Amino acid sequence: MWGYVTVGYLLVFVVVFAYAIHVLVKGRSLSKQVPPENRRWM
């Protein structure tokens, strides 16, 4: 039973971590192409 539990938790954290990294990297790449005045959250 613990095998299924471990696989479930690992899958969720690996996918969320990978997606978060993907979004952050894309954000960094796009930020360099946009002038600071158009990045209103800074």
Partner 1 sequence: MVPAHTGSRTTRLLGLAVLAGIAVVLVLALAVTGPDAVQGDAARLIYLHVPVAVSMNVGFGLCTLGSVMWLWKKSRWWDTVAVSAAEVGLVFTGLTLVTGMVWGRPTWGVYWTWDARLTTFSLLFLLYLGYLVVRHLPADLEVRNRRSAYVALLAFVDVPIVYLSVSWWRGLHQTATLSLSSTISGLMLFTLVLGIVVSLMGFLWLLVHRFRVAWLEDEVEIAGLDLAISERRAEAGIVEVSTP
* Closest CB 8 distance from partner 1, rounded Å: 4
Between CA 10 and CA 21 the distance in angstroms is 16
Q: How far is the CB of 19 from partner 1 (least distance, A)?
A: 5
**Concatenated DSSP letters for 2-35?**
HHHHHHHHHHHHHHHHHHHHHHHHHHHHHHTTS-
Query: What gap in Å lies between CA 10 and CA 20, rounded to an integer?
Result: 15
User: Minimum Å distance from CB 17 to partner 1?
Assistant: 11
Q: Footprint of partner 1 on residues 1-42 (CB under 8 A)?
A: 1-2, 4-5, 7-9, 11-12, 15-16, 19-20, 23-24, 26-28, 30-34, 36, 38-39, 41-42
